């Protein structure tokens, strides 16, 4: 059984066993341990909401649940996608759908905030962007700056998106160029959310930097010892930075070590830095978009 500190045990005791549970949080914060504790004590199926843990080729490196965890509770949507498949939030929602009306209460846990917002706020059904349009937007941005893209957006879109964020501006321009409609028009036509927030019990982990950083540093070395390096050896012959699963933090570094271009010490150091940076972005996103969720503290969960 997962050991919980007293405040967390109190939270667990207050959870309605009949309502869906959503648990979001940065990497290494302990959210999976809480999900497992809920499933063990109340039943339910643990469903993945992490965009990297869906891929089959990096189990240890992406911190997917262990075989022991999977033996203790039902798990789904982990490692069910080939690493070469461009898996989107739309794919995830479709894969999740059968479990929302299934016999087991869903316990949805992960670190991909967009998955949670799409689930609880709805997802605009925007057609895929052709590669040539994506390449054109990137070329314009690189050669002329964001202003050249922003001028083609309408006033509503300019007011709604972060005009200093290249990804947001390029995405808005690409949608307009590909569909003839501004991205805000698509967003305003978004269908109702599949699982409105008020129907769920929602938690977001607050993971203080001074507590999370040592966990991140220790966890990567533990991953290497538990099989991540062997995964890199298995993946190295066909590995490419263009693969969707190549976004797994540490994959490029461990593959470089296997290929003889980076020492293991340097690979671990670089991957740890990248993980800390990623966790910072996650914390910022959750605080901005999930401030109305129930906040719980990572240090309240122990026993990993």
- Give residue limits of the domains in the chain: 6-123+195-208+285-300, 131-188, 209-283
According to DSSP, residue 66 is labeled P
Residue range 6-123+195-208+285-300, CATH number: 3.40.50.300
Q: Are 79 and 246 within 8 A, CB to CB?
A: no
Residue range 209-283, CATH number: 1.10.287.890
Direct distance between the N- and C-terminal alpha carbons of the chain, in angstroms, rounded to an integer: 10
Q: Quick one: 28 exposed, middle or buried, by C-beta within 10 A (0-12, 13-18, 19+)?
A: buried
Q: How confident is the prediction along the chain (304 residues), in pLDDT tens digits per residue?
A: 555 555 567 778 889 999 999 999 999 998 999 999 999 999 999 999 999 999 999 999 999 999 999 999 999 999 999 999 999 999 999 999 999 998 999 999 999 999 999 999 998 888 888 999 999 999 999 999 999 999 999 999 999 998 988 988 999 999 999 999 999 999 888 888 999 999 999 999 988 889 999 999 899 999 999 999 999 999 999 999 999 999 999 999 999 999 999 999 999 999 999 999 999 999 999 998 899 999 987 766 544 3
CA dist 286 and 256 (Å) reads 32
Residue range 131-188, CATH number: 1.10.20.140
Please give the radius of gyration of the chain, using alpha carbons only, rounded to the nearest integer.
Answer: 20
Report pTM: 0.83
Instruction: Answer whether 131-188 and 209-283 agree in fold.
Output: no
């Amino acid at each position: 059984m997962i050991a919980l500190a007293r405040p967390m045990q109190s939270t667990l005791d207050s959870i309605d066993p009949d309502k869906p549970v959503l648990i979001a949080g940065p990497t290494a914060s302990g959210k999976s341990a809480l999900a497992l504790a809920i499933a063990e004590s109340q039943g339910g199926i643990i469903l993945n909401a992490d965009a990297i843990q869906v891929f089959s080729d990096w189990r240890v490196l992406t911190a997917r649940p262990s075989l022991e965890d999977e033996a203790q509770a039902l798990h789904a949507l982990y490692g069910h996608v080939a690493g070469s498949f461009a898996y989107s939030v739309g794919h995830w929602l479709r894969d999740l759908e059968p479990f929302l009306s299934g016999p087991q209460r869903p316990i949805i846990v992960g670190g991909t905030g967009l998955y949670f917002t799409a689930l609880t706020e709805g997802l605009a059904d925007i057609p895929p962007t052709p590669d040539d349009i994506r390449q054109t937007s990137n070329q314009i941005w690189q050669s002329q700056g964001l202003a050249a893209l922003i001028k083609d957006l309408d006033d509503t879109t300019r007011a709604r998106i972060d005009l200093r964020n290249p990804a947001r501006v390029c995405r808005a321009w690409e949608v307009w160029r590909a569909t003839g409609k501004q991205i805000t028009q698509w967003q305003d036509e978004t269908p109702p959310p599949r699982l409105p927030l008020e129907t769920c019990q929602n938690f977001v982990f607050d993971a203080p930097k001074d507590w999370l950083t040592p966990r991140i540093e220790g966890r990567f070395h533990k991953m290497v010892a538990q099989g991540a390096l062997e995964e890199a050896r298995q993946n190295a012959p066909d590995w490419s930075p263009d693969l969707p699963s190549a976004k797994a933090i540490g994959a490029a570094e461990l593959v470089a070590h296997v290929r003889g271009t980076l020492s293991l010490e340097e690979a671990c150091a670089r991957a740890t830095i990248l993980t800390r940076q990623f966790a910072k972005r996650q914390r910022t996103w959750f605080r901005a978009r999930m401030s109305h969720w129930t906040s719980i503290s990572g240090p309240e969960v122990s026993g990993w």
